[in-house]
Chains A and B, each alone.
Chain A
Amino acid sequence: MRSKILIRNLYKIYNEKKENEFFALKNINLNIKCGEIVIIKGISGSGKSTLLSLIGALSKPSSGDILVNEQNIAKLPDIFSSQYRNEEVGFIFQSFNLVDGLSVYDNVKAPLVLSNINQDELKKKINLALEVANIAHKSQQMVSNLSGGEKQRCAIARALVNSPSLILADEPTANLDKNNSLIFVDILKKFKQLNKTVVVATHDTIFDNLAFVDTYVNIEDGAII
Protein backbone atom coordinates (compact mmCIF):
# COMPACT_ATOMS: atom_id res chain seq x y z
CA MET A 1 0.00 0.00 0.00
CA ARG A 2 1.23 3.50 -0.82
CA SER A 3 1.51 5.96 1.98
CA LYS A 4 1.27 9.69 2.15
CA ILE A 5 1.93 12.04 5.03
CA LEU A 6 0.41 15.48 5.25
CA ILE A 7 1.40 17.66 8.19
CA ARG A 8 -0.42 20.92 8.90
CA ASN A 9 0.40 23.64 11.46
CA LEU A 10 2.04 21.17 13.78
CA TYR A 11 3.15 22.35 17.23
CA LYS A 12 4.73 20.42 20.05
CA ILE A 13 5.07 22.38 23.26
CA TYR A 14 6.52 21.00 26.49
CA ASN A 15 5.42 22.37 29.87
CA GLU A 16 2.67 24.36 28.21
CA LYS A 17 1.64 27.58 29.97
CA LYS A 18 4.33 27.17 32.59
CA GLU A 19 7.46 29.18 33.24
CA ASN A 20 9.74 26.71 31.50
CA GLU A 21 7.52 26.46 28.43
CA PHE A 22 9.45 25.06 25.50
CA PHE A 23 8.51 24.91 21.82
CA ALA A 24 9.97 21.71 20.42
CA LEU A 25 8.20 22.15 17.08
CA LYS A 26 6.79 25.35 15.63
CA ASN A 27 4.25 25.44 12.83
CA ILE A 28 5.53 22.51 10.80
CA ASN A 29 3.94 21.99 7.37
CA LEU A 30 5.10 19.07 5.30
CA ASN A 31 3.81 16.97 2.44
CA ILE A 32 5.42 13.57 1.80
CA LYS A 33 4.22 11.60 -1.18
CA CYS A 34 3.96 7.86 -1.53
CA GLY A 35 7.25 6.06 -2.02
CA GLU A 36 9.32 9.12 -1.26
CA ILE A 37 12.55 9.05 0.69
CA VAL A 38 12.82 12.10 2.93
CA ILE A 39 15.88 13.09 4.94
CA ILE A 40 15.27 15.45 7.85
CA LYS A 41 18.53 17.20 8.72
CA GLY A 42 19.34 19.17 11.80
CA ILE A 43 21.65 19.32 14.77
CA SER A 44 20.68 17.44 17.91
CA GLY A 45 17.97 19.22 19.83
CA SER A 46 16.58 20.82 16.69
CA GLY A 47 13.33 18.87 17.00
CA LYS A 48 13.79 16.30 14.23
CA SER A 49 13.39 13.34 16.60
CA THR A 50 10.27 14.91 18.09
CA LEU A 51 8.84 15.27 14.59
CA LEU A 52 9.60 11.62 13.91
CA SER A 53 7.95 10.48 17.12
CA LEU A 54 4.84 12.49 16.24
CA ILE A 55 4.66 10.93 12.76
CA GLY A 56 5.06 7.52 14.39
CA ALA A 57 2.32 8.28 16.98
CA LEU A 58 4.74 7.71 19.83
CA SER A 59 3.62 11.00 21.29
CA LYS A 60 0.83 13.42 20.64
CA PRO A 61 1.12 16.97 19.25
CA SER A 62 0.03 20.07 21.14
CA SER A 63 -1.86 21.23 18.10
CA GLY A 64 -2.05 20.66 14.38
CA ASP A 65 -2.85 17.67 12.19
CA ILE A 66 -0.86 14.70 10.95
CA LEU A 67 -2.67 12.89 8.17
CA VAL A 68 -1.34 9.50 7.18
CA ASN A 69 -3.34 7.92 4.36
CA GLU A 70 -5.85 10.72 4.94
CA GLN A 71 -6.36 9.55 8.50
CA ASN A 72 -5.58 12.00 11.25
CA ILE A 73 -3.36 10.24 13.75
CA ALA A 74 -2.90 13.26 15.99
CA LYS A 75 -5.76 12.42 18.32
CA LEU A 76 -6.15 8.70 17.96
CA PRO A 77 -7.05 6.65 21.06
CA ASP A 78 -4.34 4.30 22.21
CA ILE A 79 -5.81 1.15 20.72
CA PHE A 80 -5.89 2.69 17.24
CA SER A 81 -2.54 4.45 17.44
CA SER A 82 -0.96 1.19 18.60
CA GLN A 83 -2.54 -0.62 15.71
CA TYR A 84 -1.23 2.07 13.39
CA ARG A 85 2.30 1.68 14.78
CA ASN A 86 2.04 -2.06 14.48
CA GLU A 87 0.72 -2.33 10.95
CA GLU A 88 1.69 0.84 9.12
CA VAL A 89 5.00 1.88 10.63
CA GLY A 90 8.41 0.28 10.95
CA PHE A 91 10.81 1.98 13.37
CA ILE A 92 14.59 1.93 13.21
CA PHE A 93 16.02 3.58 16.30
CA GLN A 94 19.42 5.05 17.00
CA SER A 95 20.02 2.69 19.93
CA PHE A 96 18.30 -0.18 18.04
CA ASN A 97 15.91 -0.85 20.95
CA LEU A 98 16.12 -4.61 20.79
CA VAL A 99 14.93 -6.70 23.72
CA ASP A 100 17.98 -8.11 25.48
CA GLY A 101 17.79 -11.73 26.49
CA LEU A 102 15.81 -12.73 23.42
CA SER A 103 17.17 -14.21 20.20
CA VAL A 104 17.18 -12.34 16.89
CA TYR A 105 14.28 -14.51 15.77
CA ASP A 106 12.16 -13.71 18.84
CA ASN A 107 12.91 -10.01 18.56
CA VAL A 108 11.68 -10.00 15.00
CA LYS A 109 8.64 -12.00 16.06
CA ALA A 110 7.51 -9.44 18.63
CA PRO A 111 5.37 -7.22 16.34
CA LEU A 112 3.61 -10.27 14.91
CA VAL A 113 2.34 -11.78 18.17
CA LEU A 114 -0.44 -9.21 18.34
CA SER A 115 -2.17 -10.58 15.28
CA ASN A 116 -3.61 -14.04 15.48
CA ILE A 117 -1.86 -15.67 12.52
CA ASN A 118 -0.96 -19.32 12.30
CA GLN A 119 2.50 -20.70 12.98
CA ASP A 120 3.45 -21.35 9.35
CA GLU A 121 2.61 -17.85 8.25
CA LEU A 122 4.41 -16.46 11.28
CA LYS A 123 7.59 -18.35 10.38
CA LYS A 124 7.35 -17.36 6.74
CA LYS A 125 7.03 -13.68 7.55
CA ILE A 126 9.92 -13.71 10.02
CA ASN A 127 12.24 -15.59 7.70
CA LEU A 128 11.44 -13.27 4.82
CA ALA A 129 12.24 -10.21 6.95
CA LEU A 130 15.47 -11.84 8.17
CA GLU A 131 16.49 -12.49 4.54
CA VAL A 132 15.78 -8.96 3.40
CA ALA A 133 17.78 -7.50 6.30
CA ASN A 134 20.56 -10.02 5.67
CA ILE A 135 20.65 -11.39 9.23
CA ALA A 136 19.07 -14.82 8.70
CA HIS A 137 22.33 -16.62 9.50
CA LYS A 138 22.25 -15.25 13.06
CA SER A 139 18.58 -15.87 13.76
CA GLN A 140 19.13 -18.05 16.84
CA GLN A 141 21.78 -15.80 18.42
CA MET A 142 21.03 -13.69 21.46
CA VAL A 143 20.89 -10.05 20.43
CA SER A 144 23.28 -9.06 23.20
CA ASN A 145 26.02 -11.03 21.41
CA LEU A 146 25.66 -9.12 18.15
CA SER A 147 27.86 -6.36 16.78
CA GLY A 148 26.46 -2.89 16.16
CA GLY A 149 25.85 -3.50 12.48
CA GLU A 150 24.15 -6.82 13.13
CA LYS A 151 21.98 -5.27 15.80
CA GLN A 152 20.83 -2.69 13.32
CA ARG A 153 20.05 -5.32 10.71
CA CYS A 154 18.02 -7.15 13.31
CA ALA A 155 16.16 -3.92 14.06
CA ILE A 156 15.55 -3.47 10.33
CA ALA A 157 14.16 -7.00 10.07
CA ARG A 158 11.80 -6.22 12.95
CA ALA A 159 10.73 -2.99 11.28
CA LEU A 160 9.99 -4.83 8.05
CA VAL A 161 8.33 -7.95 9.40
CA ASN A 162 4.75 -6.63 9.28
CA SER A 163 5.45 -5.15 5.79
CA PRO A 164 4.65 -1.56 6.76
CA SER A 165 4.33 1.11 4.10
CA LEU A 166 6.17 3.69 6.18
CA ILE A 167 9.67 3.39 7.63
CA LEU A 168 10.87 5.87 10.25
CA ALA A 169 14.57 5.95 11.10
CA ASP A 170 15.97 8.08 13.91
CA GLU A 171 19.74 8.72 13.64
CA PRO A 172 20.24 5.26 12.13
CA THR A 173 23.97 5.62 11.63
CA ALA A 174 24.93 7.31 14.89
CA ASN A 175 26.06 4.08 16.53
CA LEU A 176 27.66 2.55 13.43
CA ASP A 177 31.11 2.71 11.87
CA LYS A 178 31.69 4.06 8.40
CA ASN A 179 31.39 0.68 6.71
CA ASN A 180 28.07 -0.23 8.32
CA SER A 181 26.75 3.26 7.66
CA LEU A 182 27.37 2.72 3.96
CA ILE A 183 25.52 -0.59 4.17
CA PHE A 184 22.59 1.26 5.65
CA VAL A 185 22.58 3.68 2.72
CA ASP A 186 22.36 0.64 0.46
CA ILE A 187 19.43 -0.67 2.45
CA LEU A 188 17.77 2.70 2.04
CA LYS A 189 18.05 2.19 -1.69
CA LYS A 190 16.43 -1.20 -1.30
CA PHE A 191 13.53 0.45 0.53
CA LYS A 192 13.15 2.77 -2.43
CA GLN A 193 12.89 -0.25 -4.73
CA LEU A 194 10.32 -1.83 -2.40
CA ASN A 195 8.36 1.41 -2.76
CA LYS A 196 8.32 2.19 0.94
CA THR A 197 7.92 5.73 2.18
CA VAL A 198 10.94 6.48 4.34
CA VAL A 199 11.62 9.35 6.73
CA VAL A 200 15.14 9.54 8.16
CA ALA A 201 16.11 12.02 10.87
CA THR A 202 19.90 12.48 10.92
CA HIS A 203 22.80 14.87 11.17
CA ASP A 204 25.20 12.44 9.46
CA THR A 205 26.78 13.89 6.31
CA ILE A 206 26.80 10.43 4.70
CA PHE A 207 23.20 11.07 3.60
CA ASP A 208 24.10 14.29 1.79
CA ASN A 209 23.51 14.53 -1.94
CA LEU A 210 22.16 11.03 -2.54
CA ALA A 211 20.59 10.70 -5.95
CA PHE A 212 17.69 8.51 -4.87
CA VAL A 213 16.57 10.81 -2.04
CA ASP A 214 13.49 12.80 -3.05
CA THR A 215 13.44 15.55 -0.44
CA TYR A 216 15.84 17.08 2.06
CA VAL A 217 14.24 19.00 4.92
CA ASN A 218 16.33 21.17 7.18
CA ILE A 219 15.08 21.82 10.66
CA GLU A 220 16.39 24.30 13.19
CA ASP A 221 15.00 25.28 16.58
CA GLY A 222 11.82 23.38 15.84
CA ALA A 223 11.05 25.07 12.56
CA ILE A 224 11.65 24.09 8.96
CA ILE A 225 14.04 26.42 7.13
Chain B
Amino acid sequence: MINKNFVDFSILLLLKDKKEYLFSFFIFTFIVFLASSILFISDSIKHDLFIALDKQHQIIVKNTKSGRYTPLSEEHIDSILQISGVDNVKGKVDGYYYFAQDRRYFHIVVDESLDEHSMIISSEIKSILAKFKYTTQFNFLTQDGITSLDIKKVIKSNIISNDVILVNEDIARKILNMDEDEYSYLDVLVPNNSEIDFISLKIVDLYPDIKVKTKNDLKSDYEYVFYYKGGIFMILYIVSMISFFILLKNQISSVFGEKKREIAIFRSIGFAIKDIIFLKFIQNSVVALCSYFLGVFLAYIFVFIFGAPLLKNIFLGHDASHIIFTPIVDVKTLFVMFIFTVIPFLASILLPAWKIAVEDMSEVIK
Protein backbone atom coordinates (compact mmCIF):
# COMPACT_ATOMS: atom_id res chain seq x y z
CA MET B 1 0.00 0.00 0.00
CA ILE B 2 1.08 3.58 -0.50
CA ASN B 3 2.73 4.91 2.58
CA LYS B 4 1.98 8.52 3.42
CA ASN B 5 5.26 9.18 5.19
CA PHE B 6 7.11 7.96 2.15
CA VAL B 7 5.13 10.14 -0.25
CA ASP B 8 5.64 13.17 2.00
CA PHE B 9 9.33 12.51 2.14
CA SER B 10 9.59 12.13 -1.65
CA ILE B 11 7.91 15.48 -2.11
CA LEU B 12 10.19 17.03 0.50
CA LEU B 13 13.19 15.84 -1.53
CA LEU B 14 11.56 17.11 -4.71
CA LEU B 15 11.16 20.58 -3.22
CA LYS B 16 14.77 20.50 -2.10
CA ASP B 17 15.93 19.81 -5.67
CA LYS B 18 13.32 21.85 -7.47
CA LYS B 19 15.93 23.66 -9.52
CA GLU B 20 17.05 20.44 -11.16
CA TYR B 21 13.50 19.63 -12.15
CA LEU B 22 12.75 23.08 -13.52
CA PHE B 23 13.98 22.28 -17.00
CA SER B 24 11.88 19.17 -17.45
CA PHE B 25 8.96 21.00 -15.88
CA PHE B 26 9.08 23.75 -18.49
CA ILE B 27 9.69 21.47 -21.44
CA PHE B 28 6.84 19.26 -20.43
CA THR B 29 4.52 22.19 -19.77
CA PHE B 30 5.28 23.38 -23.27
CA ILE B 31 4.47 19.98 -24.76
CA VAL B 32 1.15 19.87 -22.92
CA PHE B 33 0.41 23.48 -23.82
CA LEU B 34 0.94 22.91 -27.52
CA ALA B 35 -1.04 19.71 -27.69
CA SER B 36 -3.97 21.04 -25.71
CA SER B 37 -4.08 24.28 -27.69
CA ILE B 38 -4.47 22.27 -30.86
CA LEU B 39 -7.14 20.05 -29.39
CA PHE B 40 -9.00 23.03 -27.92
CA ILE B 41 -9.04 24.74 -31.31
CA SER B 42 -10.24 21.70 -33.16
CA ASP B 43 -12.88 20.90 -30.54
CA SER B 44 -14.17 24.43 -30.71
CA ILE B 45 -14.37 24.49 -34.50
CA LYS B 46 -16.09 21.13 -34.48
CA HIS B 47 -18.58 22.38 -31.94
CA ASP B 48 -19.50 25.42 -34.05
CA LEU B 49 -19.86 23.33 -37.18
CA PHE B 50 -22.20 20.90 -35.52
CA ILE B 51 -24.29 23.63 -33.94
CA ALA B 52 -24.76 25.09 -37.40
CA LEU B 53 -25.52 21.68 -38.80
CA ASP B 54 -28.20 21.08 -36.19
CA LYS B 55 -30.16 24.09 -37.40
CA GLN B 56 -30.36 22.68 -40.91
CA HIS B 57 -33.16 20.61 -42.27
CA GLN B 58 -32.89 16.92 -42.86
CA ILE B 59 -32.36 16.94 -46.62
CA ILE B 60 -30.63 19.49 -48.78
CA VAL B 61 -31.20 19.36 -52.53
CA LYS B 62 -28.91 21.00 -55.06
CA ASN B 63 -29.08 20.98 -58.81
CA THR B 64 -26.17 20.32 -61.12
CA LYS B 65 -25.59 20.71 -64.81
CA SER B 66 -22.48 19.26 -66.42
CA GLY B 67 -21.02 18.83 -62.98
CA ARG B 68 -21.56 22.38 -61.79
CA TYR B 69 -24.18 23.71 -59.44
CA THR B 70 -27.07 25.48 -61.10
CA PRO B 71 -30.19 27.05 -59.61
CA LEU B 72 -33.39 25.09 -58.97
CA SER B 73 -36.85 26.21 -60.01
CA GLU B 74 -40.40 26.19 -58.61
CA GLU B 75 -41.01 23.07 -60.67
CA HIS B 76 -38.53 21.15 -58.58
CA ILE B 77 -40.27 22.26 -55.39
CA ASP B 78 -43.64 21.17 -56.64
CA SER B 79 -42.58 17.71 -57.73
CA ILE B 80 -40.64 17.03 -54.51
CA LEU B 81 -43.67 18.09 -52.51
CA GLN B 82 -45.59 15.32 -54.26
CA ILE B 83 -43.43 12.63 -52.64
CA SER B 84 -45.31 11.15 -49.72
CA GLY B 85 -43.56 11.68 -46.41
CA VAL B 86 -42.34 15.15 -47.34
CA ASP B 87 -43.93 17.78 -45.17
CA ASN B 88 -42.57 20.94 -46.68
CA VAL B 89 -39.98 22.14 -49.18
CA LYS B 90 -38.37 25.52 -48.86
CA GLY B 91 -36.40 27.21 -51.59
CA LYS B 92 -33.30 28.97 -50.32
CA VAL B 93 -31.15 31.66 -51.81
CA ASP B 94 -27.51 31.59 -50.96
CA GLY B 95 -24.28 32.26 -52.81
CA TYR B 96 -21.01 34.11 -53.10
CA TYR B 97 -20.35 37.69 -54.03
CA TYR B 98 -16.90 38.46 -55.36
CA PHE B 99 -15.42 41.61 -53.83
CA ALA B 100 -12.79 42.37 -56.44
CA GLN B 101 -10.96 45.11 -54.53
CA ASP B 102 -9.85 42.69 -51.85
CA ARG B 103 -10.06 39.56 -54.02
CA ARG B 104 -12.38 37.91 -51.55
CA TYR B 105 -15.67 36.09 -51.73
CA PHE B 106 -18.45 37.10 -49.36
CA HIS B 107 -21.00 34.51 -48.41
CA ILE B 108 -24.47 35.97 -48.96
CA VAL B 109 -27.07 34.41 -46.65
CA VAL B 110 -30.75 35.30 -46.42
CA ASP B 111 -32.25 36.66 -43.23
CA GLU B 112 -35.99 37.37 -43.63
CA SER B 113 -36.13 39.74 -40.68
CA LEU B 114 -34.06 42.38 -42.46
CA ASP B 115 -35.53 45.18 -44.58
CA GLU B 116 -34.37 46.18 -48.05
CA HIS B 117 -31.79 48.70 -46.93
CA SER B 118 -29.80 46.98 -44.27
CA MET B 119 -27.52 44.03 -43.72
CA ILE B 120 -25.72 42.21 -40.95
CA ILE B 121 -22.05 41.42 -41.37
CA SER B 122 -19.41 39.52 -39.48
CA SER B 123 -16.61 41.29 -37.67
CA GLU B 124 -14.12 39.87 -40.17
CA ILE B 125 -16.04 41.49 -43.04
CA LYS B 126 -16.39 44.69 -41.09
CA SER B 127 -12.64 45.03 -40.91
CA ILE B 128 -12.24 44.27 -44.61
CA LEU B 129 -14.80 46.90 -45.52
CA ALA B 130 -13.22 49.37 -43.16
CA LYS B 131 -10.01 49.01 -45.15
CA PHE B 132 -11.88 50.52 -48.09
CA LYS B 133 -13.58 53.17 -45.98
CA TYR B 134 -16.97 51.47 -45.91
CA THR B 135 -17.83 52.04 -42.29
CA THR B 136 -21.60 52.56 -42.28
CA GLN B 137 -22.68 51.16 -45.64
CA PHE B 138 -21.48 49.14 -48.58
CA ASN B 139 -22.18 49.26 -52.30
CA PHE B 140 -22.70 45.96 -54.09
CA LEU B 141 -21.99 46.07 -57.79
CA THR B 142 -24.77 44.19 -59.57
CA GLN B 143 -26.00 43.75 -63.15
CA ASP B 144 -28.56 46.50 -62.58
CA GLY B 145 -26.14 48.97 -61.10
CA ILE B 146 -25.23 49.69 -57.52
CA THR B 147 -27.13 48.33 -54.54
CA SER B 148 -26.26 50.16 -51.39
CA LEU B 149 -26.96 48.68 -47.93
CA ASP B 150 -26.49 50.02 -44.40
CA ILE B 151 -24.59 48.02 -41.86
CA LYS B 152 -27.16 47.31 -39.20
CA LYS B 153 -25.29 45.01 -36.95
CA VAL B 154 -21.96 43.21 -36.65
CA ILE B 155 -21.90 39.62 -35.45
CA LYS B 156 -18.98 37.64 -34.10
CA SER B 157 -16.85 35.70 -36.53
CA ASN B 158 -16.73 32.02 -35.85
CA ILE B 159 -15.83 29.26 -38.26
CA ILE B 160 -19.23 29.42 -39.97
CA SER B 161 -19.99 33.11 -39.84
CA ASN B 162 -16.54 34.42 -40.73
CA ASP B 163 -17.35 35.54 -44.30
CA VAL B 164 -21.10 35.94 -43.96
CA ILE B 165 -23.30 38.87 -44.97
CA LEU B 166 -26.95 38.54 -44.01
CA VAL B 167 -29.46 40.33 -46.26
CA ASN B 168 -33.12 40.33 -47.25
CA GLU B 169 -34.16 37.68 -49.81
CA ASP B 170 -34.96 40.12 -52.61
CA ILE B 171 -31.69 41.91 -52.15
CA ALA B 172 -29.88 38.59 -52.13
CA ARG B 173 -31.40 37.70 -55.51
CA LYS B 174 -30.31 41.06 -56.83
CA ILE B 175 -26.76 40.72 -55.61
CA LEU B 176 -26.43 37.13 -56.77
CA ASN B 177 -28.23 37.85 -60.02
CA MET B 178 -30.94 35.25 -59.58
CA ASP B 179 -34.49 35.30 -60.99
CA GLU B 180 -37.66 35.35 -58.90
CA ASP B 181 -38.30 31.63 -59.30
CA GLU B 182 -34.73 30.49 -58.92
CA TYR B 183 -33.32 28.88 -55.81
CA SER B 184 -29.77 27.94 -54.81
CA TYR B 185 -30.87 24.90 -52.87
CA LEU B 186 -33.96 23.32 -51.39
CA ASP B 187 -34.53 22.46 -47.78
CA VAL B 188 -36.75 19.40 -47.48
CA LEU B 189 -38.58 18.83 -44.22
CA VAL B 190 -39.26 15.19 -43.38
CA PRO B 191 -41.03 14.64 -40.06
CA ASN B 192 -40.10 10.98 -39.75
CA ASN B 193 -36.36 10.55 -39.43
CA SER B 194 -36.37 6.94 -40.54
CA GLU B 195 -37.78 7.94 -43.94
CA ILE B 196 -34.97 10.34 -44.78
CA ASP B 197 -32.78 7.87 -46.68
CA PHE B 198 -35.71 6.52 -48.62
CA ILE B 199 -36.98 9.96 -49.63
CA SER B 200 -33.58 11.13 -50.73
CA LEU B 201 -33.41 8.11 -53.06
CA LYS B 202 -36.81 9.08 -54.45
CA ILE B 203 -35.66 12.61 -55.19
CA VAL B 204 -32.64 11.31 -57.07
CA ASP B 205 -35.02 9.06 -59.01
CA LEU B 206 -37.02 12.09 -60.10
CA TYR B 207 -34.05 14.18 -61.18
CA PRO B 208 -30.84 12.28 -61.94
CA ASP B 209 -28.85 15.52 -62.06
CA ILE B 210 -29.79 16.51 -58.57
CA LYS B 211 -27.39 16.10 -55.64
CA VAL B 212 -29.01 15.16 -52.36
CA LYS B 213 -27.28 15.48 -49.02
CA THR B 214 -28.88 14.31 -45.82
CA LYS B 215 -27.95 15.81 -42.50
CA ASN B 216 -26.17 12.61 -41.49
CA ASP B 217 -24.16 12.63 -44.72
CA LEU B 218 -23.02 16.14 -43.97
CA LYS B 219 -22.17 15.28 -40.43
CA SER B 220 -20.13 12.28 -41.53
CA ASP B 221 -18.38 14.41 -44.15
CA TYR B 222 -17.43 17.01 -41.59
CA GLU B 223 -16.25 14.46 -39.10
CA TYR B 224 -14.31 12.62 -41.71
CA VAL B 225 -12.40 15.66 -42.95
CA PHE B 226 -11.92 16.79 -39.41
CA TYR B 227 -10.68 13.62 -37.89
CA TYR B 228 -8.57 12.73 -40.85
CA LYS B 229 -6.75 16.02 -40.80
CA GLY B 230 -6.55 15.89 -37.03
CA GLY B 231 -5.03 12.43 -37.21
CA ILE B 232 -2.31 13.46 -39.64
CA PHE B 233 -1.59 16.45 -37.47
CA MET B 234 -1.30 14.15 -34.50
CA ILE B 235 1.32 12.03 -36.27
CA LEU B 236 3.41 15.11 -37.00
CA TYR B 237 3.00 16.15 -33.42
CA ILE B 238 4.10 12.77 -32.12
CA VAL B 239 7.26 12.97 -34.19
CA SER B 240 8.17 16.30 -32.68
CA MET B 241 7.12 15.10 -29.25
CA ILE B 242 9.46 12.13 -29.43
CA SER B 243 12.40 14.46 -29.93
CA PHE B 244 11.23 16.44 -26.92
CA PHE B 245 11.09 13.30 -24.87
CA ILE B 246 14.59 12.29 -25.88
CA LEU B 247 15.71 15.69 -24.65
CA LEU B 248 13.76 15.16 -21.45
CA LYS B 249 15.18 11.70 -20.90
CA ASN B 250 18.74 12.94 -21.24
CA GLN B 251 18.00 15.76 -18.85
CA ILE B 252 16.46 13.40 -16.32
CA SER B 253 19.34 10.96 -16.63
CA SER B 254 21.84 13.70 -15.93
CA VAL B 255 19.81 14.99 -12.97
CA PHE B 256 19.63 11.47 -11.60
CA GLY B 257 23.34 11.03 -12.24
CA GLU B 258 24.21 14.01 -10.06
CA LYS B 259 22.26 12.44 -7.27
CA LYS B 260 24.22 9.20 -7.28
CA ARG B 261 25.71 9.77 -3.87
CA GLU B 262 22.42 10.82 -2.34
CA ILE B 263 20.77 7.67 -3.67
CA ALA B 264 23.61 5.57 -2.24
CA ILE B 265 23.03 7.19 1.16
CA PHE B 266 19.35 6.31 1.05
CA ARG B 267 20.17 2.78 0.00
CA SER B 268 22.58 2.45 2.92
CA ILE B 269 19.92 3.40 5.45
CA GLY B 270 17.53 0.81 4.13
CA PHE B 271 15.79 2.04 0.97
CA ALA B 272 15.36 -0.95 -1.35
CA ILE B 273 15.77 -0.71 -5.12
CA LYS B 274 12.01 -0.70 -5.51
CA ASP B 275 11.73 2.14 -2.98
CA ILE B 276 14.18 4.30 -4.93
CA ILE B 277 12.31 3.64 -8.19
CA PHE B 278 9.04 4.45 -6.46
CA LEU B 279 10.52 7.62 -4.98
CA LYS B 280 11.61 8.83 -8.41
CA PHE B 281 8.25 7.83 -9.81
CA ILE B 282 6.37 9.86 -7.22
CA GLN B 283 8.56 12.90 -7.77
CA ASN B 284 8.16 12.80 -11.52
CA SER B 285 4.44 12.18 -11.26
CA VAL B 286 4.16 15.36 -9.21
CA VAL B 287 6.17 17.24 -11.82
CA ALA B 288 4.09 15.74 -14.63
CA LEU B 289 0.77 16.54 -12.98
CA CYS B 290 1.75 20.12 -12.19
CA SER B 291 2.99 20.61 -15.75
CA TYR B 292 -0.14 19.04 -17.12
CA PHE B 293 -2.48 21.34 -15.24
CA LEU B 294 -0.37 24.41 -15.94
CA GLY B 295 -0.10 23.49 -19.63
CA VAL B 296 -3.84 22.97 -20.01
CA PHE B 297 -4.57 26.18 -18.12
CA LEU B 298 -2.19 28.21 -20.29
CA ALA B 299 -3.64 26.65 -23.43
CA TYR B 300 -7.14 27.64 -22.32
CA ILE B 301 -6.06 31.25 -21.85
CA PHE B 302 -4.11 31.25 -25.10
CA VAL B 303 -6.90 29.83 -27.23
CA PHE B 304 -10.08 31.20 -25.69
CA ILE B 305 -8.94 34.50 -24.28
CA PHE B 306 -6.23 35.55 -26.72
CA GLY B 307 -7.75 33.74 -29.71
CA ALA B 308 -4.68 31.60 -30.39
CA PRO B 309 -2.54 33.92 -32.52
CA LEU B 310 -0.17 32.13 -34.96
CA LEU B 311 -1.74 28.72 -34.38
CA LYS B 312 -5.03 29.98 -35.77
CA ASN B 313 -3.44 30.78 -39.10
CA ILE B 314 -2.02 27.28 -39.38
CA PHE B 315 -5.51 25.89 -38.94
CA LEU B 316 -7.62 28.35 -40.87
CA GLY B 317 -5.38 30.20 -43.26
CA HIS B 318 -4.64 33.91 -43.41
CA ASP B 319 -8.10 35.41 -43.64
CA ALA B 320 -9.02 34.22 -40.19
CA SER B 321 -7.81 37.01 -38.01
CA HIS B 322 -11.26 37.82 -36.63
CA ILE B 323 -12.45 34.31 -35.90
CA ILE B 324 -13.09 33.69 -32.26
CA PHE B 325 -13.28 30.27 -30.68
CA THR B 326 -16.28 29.26 -28.64
CA PRO B 327 -14.86 28.04 -25.33
CA ILE B 328 -15.50 24.32 -25.25
CA VAL B 329 -13.67 22.07 -22.82
CA ASP B 330 -14.61 18.46 -23.02
CA VAL B 331 -13.60 16.12 -20.18
CA LYS B 332 -12.77 13.50 -22.74
CA THR B 333 -10.31 15.84 -24.48
CA LEU B 334 -8.58 16.39 -21.15
CA PHE B 335 -8.45 12.64 -20.63
CA VAL B 336 -6.94 12.12 -24.09
CA MET B 337 -4.41 14.84 -23.36
CA PHE B 338 -3.54 13.20 -20.09
CA ILE B 339 -2.94 9.82 -21.67
CA PHE B 340 -1.09 11.35 -24.57
CA THR B 341 1.39 13.36 -22.51
CA VAL B 342 1.68 12.10 -18.94
CA ILE B 343 2.03 8.41 -19.74
CA PRO B 344 4.96 8.82 -22.17
CA PHE B 345 6.59 11.16 -19.67
CA LEU B 346 6.38 8.63 -16.86
CA ALA B 347 7.42 5.83 -19.20
CA SER B 348 10.56 7.74 -20.07
CA ILE B 349 11.73 7.93 -16.45
CA LEU B 350 11.40 4.22 -15.65
CA LEU B 351 14.71 3.21 -17.15
CA PRO B 352 16.82 6.06 -15.72
CA ALA B 353 15.19 5.53 -12.32
CA TRP B 354 16.06 1.86 -12.34
CA LYS B 355 19.62 2.56 -13.48
CA ILE B 356 20.28 4.98 -10.66
CA ALA B 357 18.60 2.71 -8.12
CA VAL B 358 20.80 -0.29 -8.84
CA GLU B 359 24.07 1.69 -8.72
CA ASP B 360 26.70 0.23 -6.45
CA MET B 361 26.30 1.76 -3.01
CA SER B 362 29.69 0.83 -1.60
CA GLU B 363 30.92 4.33 -2.41
CA VAL B 364 29.23 5.63 0.73
CA ILE B 365 31.77 3.82 2.80
CA LYS B 366 34.81 5.45 1.23
A113 in contact with B364 given A78-B272, A91-B268, A101-B17 (CB within 8 Å):
no
CB distance from A72 to the nearest CB of B (A): 19
Q: Are A109 and B272 in contact (CB under 8 A)?
A: no
**In the bound complex, how far is the Cα of B8 from the Cα of A116, in angstroms?**
12
Q: How many residues of B contact A (CB 8 A)?
A: 29
Q: Please give me the residue from chain A that is nearest to B4 by CB atom.
A: A116
**Chain B window 1-34, contacts with chain A (Cβ cutoff 8 Å), 1 for yes, 0 for no:** 1011110110011001100000000000000000
Interface residue ranges of B97-124 to A (CB < 8 Å) = none
Q: Are B12 and A82 in contact (CB under 8 A)?
A: no
Answer yes or no: B86 CB below 8 A from chain A CBs. no
Answer yes or no: A150 CB below 8 A from chain B CBs. no
Which among B180-188, B221-229, B259-267 touches the partner chain?
B259-267
**Chain A window 82-120, contacts with chain B (Cβ cutoff 8 Å), 1 for yes, 0 for no:** 110111000101110111011000100111111111000
Answer yes or no: A195 CB below 8 A from chain B CBs. no
**In the bound complex, how far is the Cα of B361 from the Cα of A49, in angstroms?**
13
Q: Are B271 and A49 in contact (CB under 8 A)?
A: no
* Cross-interface CB contact of B365 among A52, A87, A101, A117, cutoff 8 Å: A52
Q: Are A106 and B12 in contact (CB under 8 A)?
A: yes
Q: Are B270 and A86 in contact (CB under 8 A)?
A: yes
Answer yes or no: A36 CB below 8 A from chain B CBs. no
Q: Are A86 and B269 in contact (CB under 8 A)?
A: yes
Question: Which residues of chain A have C-beta atoms less than 8 A from B270's C-beta?
Answer: 82-83, 85-87, 111, 114, 162
**In the bound complex, how far is the Cα of B365 from the Cα of A52, in angstroms?**
9
**In the bound complex, how far is the Cα of B21 from the Cα of A75, in angstroms?**
37
- 26 contacts across the A-B interface (CB closer than 8 A): A49-B366, A58-B268, A58-B364, A59-B360, A59-B361, A78-B273, A82-B270, A85-B270, A86-B269, A86-B271, A93-B365, A97-B265, A97-B268, A102-B12, A102-B13, A106-B9, A110-B269, A113-B9, A114-B3, A114-B270, A116-B1, A116-B4, A116-B5, A158-B269, A162-B270, A170-B365
What residues of chain A have their CB less than 8 Å away from a CB belonging to chain B?
A: 49, 52-53, 56, 58-59, 78-79, 82-83, 85-87, 91, 93-95, 97-99, 101-102, 106, 109-117, 122, 158, 162, 170
